[in-house]
Amino acid sequence: MEVYYKVKLDKKINDIEKIDKPNISHIYLLTETKGNYKYHSKLKNLNEDNEILTFALDCNNIVKEKDKIFRKIKNINKKSLKNFFQVIVFNYNKNDKIHIFDLIKSIKVMLLPTKLEKYDYIYDTVCDYLDNEFVCKNICDFKDDKCIAKRDFNCTCGCCRHFKSLFSNKIVQCKYLINKRCSTKCLTCKMFTCSYIVKNKKIKFRIRDIFLLHKFFNPIQKIIILTSYFTPKEKILNRLLMCG
Ligand code: SF4
Ligand code: SF4
């Protein structure tokens, strides 16, 4: 079964739309299998400015082939003049959707024009994924403002608190917690699960399990992502840009 996607090329994250038929111009093949299309072979310096960029990939063996396909994606060196691109997926299997979308999002990262736009898109995409995980799995299970780990304590802010300073034993609530919600978008905090959740629900978010973080950031940037607690998105993005 063939499935077609149209992907918006802006910073927004709700960007992948299933379509009935792609508007065919030239297609760039990311895997070995060929359907009945005419393909371009080179992903570097594509130079037909008016074409709608279309990529094709085969889902057979996508888990095994994912790294290989990603290496091809990393070779894309083209700024699209259109505000969208298309993807043809051969042998679509809904169980592989997460891998297909990881690869489609990686193509988009490569096509976004600036480093800031690329990082911003990755950042928002991963935050959205983590927010969904916490909501859908009801990970922290808040009741009367008390999370499952703090149910028996007089604490109504989950883990949004820290020692006042390095040399103090006084705990204060994070200044970004406003009206019971995080007013900034701290990726590091979103990745965090406390020891109760790790032990009892076996949930821990690791960078190597989140494809875009694992593939697009270097070791220093990964340390930044893992250690920038209580920090607004803009600051984290600046740190990532400085080390990218
Ligand atoms: S991660 Fe743990 S401490 Fe933090 S809000 Fe969730 S259950 Fe509470
Ligand atoms: S920055 Fe972190 S600790 Fe502060 S409110 Fe947001 S999630 Fe909570």
* pLDDT recorded at residue 48: 54
Q: Which atom of ligand 2 is nearest to the CA of 230?
A: 1
Proportion of the chain above pLDDT 90, given as a percent? 66
Q: How confident is the model at residue 44 (pLDDT cuts 50, 70, 90)?
A: very low
What pLDDT score was predicted for residue 173?
92
Confidence check: pLDDT of 66 > 80: yes
Is it the case that residue 25 has pLDDT exceeding 70?
no
Q: How does the average pLDDT of the chain come out, rounded?
A: 90
Q: Ligand 1 centroid to 130 CA: how many Å?
A: 14
Question: What values do phi and psi take at 224, rounded to 5?
Answer: -60, -45
Ligand nearest 198 Cα, by number?
Answer: 1
The enclosing H or E element of 125 equals helix 115-136
Residue entry with tokens 């993005």: 237
Pick 23 or 242 by higher pLDDT: 242
Structure tokens at 219: 């070791």
pTM for the complete prediction? 0.91
pLDDT reported for residue 86:
93
Pocket test for ligand 1, best of 133, 145, 194 (most atoms within 8 A of CB): 194
| Ligand approaching nearest to the C-alpha of 181 | 2
SS (H, E, C) 204-240: CCCHHHCHHHHHHCCHHHHHHHHHCCCCCHHHHHHHH
Amino acid code (one letter) for 143: K
| Ligand 1 atom nearest to 159, measured from its CA | 4
Segment 146-174, tens digit of pLDDT: 999 999 888 888 999 988 888 888 889 99
Residue list, ligand 1 pocket, CB within 6 Å: 140, 147-150, 158-159, 193-194, 196-197
Average pLDDT over residues 3-30: 87
DSSP class of residue 52?
P
pLDDT tens digit string along 214-241? 999 999 999 999 999 999 999 999 999 9
Three-class SS of residue 68? helix
34 pLDDT band, cuts 50/70/90, is: low
What is the number of the ligand 1 atom nearest to the C-alpha of 193? Answer: 1
pLDDT at 45 over 70: no
